[in-house]
Amino acid sequence: MSQDLLQAILLWLPPTRGETAKVTTGNPAINGPTPKSWLVEHNNWVFLLPTVLFFVWYQVYPIIRVVWISFTDYKYLTNDPANWVGFDNYVEALSDPLMWDSLGRAAYFTAMFLPGTIIIPLLLAVLIHGVQNQRLATVYRVILLIPAVIPSTLVFVLWKWMYNYQIGPINHFLVEVTGWFTYRNAPQWLGGTDLTLPSVAIMEVWWGLGYHSVFFLAGLAAIPKDLPEAARIDGASEWQVFWHIILPRLQPIMLILVILRFGTSMGVIDEYLIFGGFNRESPTYTWTIFMYDQAFKTGLWRQGFAAAIGMVGSLVMMVFVTWLIYIFRSRD
């Protein structure tokens, strides 16, 4: 039965290139197109079709939808139809000083976060890669990956407790152990102070330490061992081997990490909502919080204006990503 069904399907398919269909008159049930390789030639698209549909529905369509909303006065919870307002939302967003202040705060956080996601994991990966005992190296890799597998909720609770002004272990160490501060002048890590963004950046670097180190460990494993060994035989120091041989071959991995983490650091929102809230004077009130505030919090439900804020932030990020790709481009 299955062979008959397959033969019927193949007879229905059109002929392949170089093959001509048999044309008959009088008995079309017997003769038909040559059954073969149309399915073989196009089977890659058959397998790709579910992924393409998923990508279009969950990625392309939402982007097009947000772009359209940004040119309207769309409000989700009203029965009134959305009116086309053109570039009014963009003009209002670009003329609002809070838009630029919030983008500057996000850029400040990114400038603190990005170096930590490249330099520290790179150094740790080089150290672990140099461990000769494979069992010990495996233990180090597992320890590094522990923060990456902790759920975000637990990470936020853990670090909020560590940064606590009165009972946190960090302030306890600074007050009780070192005696550098008293509880009256101990650092206020969270709560909208100047230390809030650096505190969140430290938490994010720790959280992604193992994940980012794995990238560099994979890159180090792909470097032929003959290259650094030949350089050492020629008298190169370990620093020269690292700077002239290892680091240039890790540049593509650095580019991937910088682009990925630039986008995530500029678009942080959960951490800011937990550690800073909706205080417009807080350093954590970035463009993502501004967008969320306008769309769902202020009571005006200005989704059109919020979409314009999001598009402006996205365009700024795209410009910087293009610049980063140029900086980290291959010079071979």
* Confidence grade of residue 274 (pLDDT, cut at 50, 70, 90): confident
Residue 29 has pLDDT above 70, yes or no: no
Residue 194 has pLDDT above 90, yes or no: no
Closest CA to 126 of 213, 211, 205: 213
Closest CA to 238 of 248, 223, 251, 228: 228
DSSP 182: -
Task: Name residue 94's amino acid.
Answer: L
Check residues 260 and 21 and name the one with the higher pLDDT. 260
Average the pLDDT over 127-145 and give the result. 88
Give 242's contacts (C-beta < 8 A, 6+ positions apart). 126
* Residue recorded with tokens 């233990």: 139
Lowest average pLDDT, out of 25-34, 264-273, 301-310, goes to 25-34
Average pLDDT, the chain: 83
Residue 18 has pLDDT above 50, yes or no: no
Average the pLDDT over 15-29 and give the result. 47
Which tokens go with 244?
A: 């002239």
Average the pLDDT over 217-236 and give the result. 88
Burial 254-292 (b: 16+ CB within 10 A, else e): bbebbeebbeebbbbeebbebbbeeeeebbbbbbbbbbb
What is the rounded distance in angstroms from the CA atom of residue 228 to the CA atom of residue 83? 64
In the chain, where the domains are located: 2-70, 88-327
Give 325's contacts (C-beta < 8 A, 6+ positions apart). 255, 259
Query: What's residue 121's pLDDT?
Result: 93
Which tokens go with 280?
A: 């417009």
Which tokens go with 119?
A: 């330099």
Query: What's residue 66's pLDDT?
Result: 92
Query: Is domain 88-327 classified as CATH 3.30.2020.30?
Result: no
Give 7's contacts (C-beta < 8 A, 6+ positions apart). 35
Check residues 183 and 28 and name the one with the higher pLDDT. 183
* Confidence grade of residue 92 (pLDDT, cut at 50, 70, 90): very high
pTM: 0.79
Query: What's residue 226's pLDDT?
Result: 87
Q: What is the pLDDT of residues 138-167, one digit of tens each?
A: 898 888 888 888 888 899 999 999 998 888
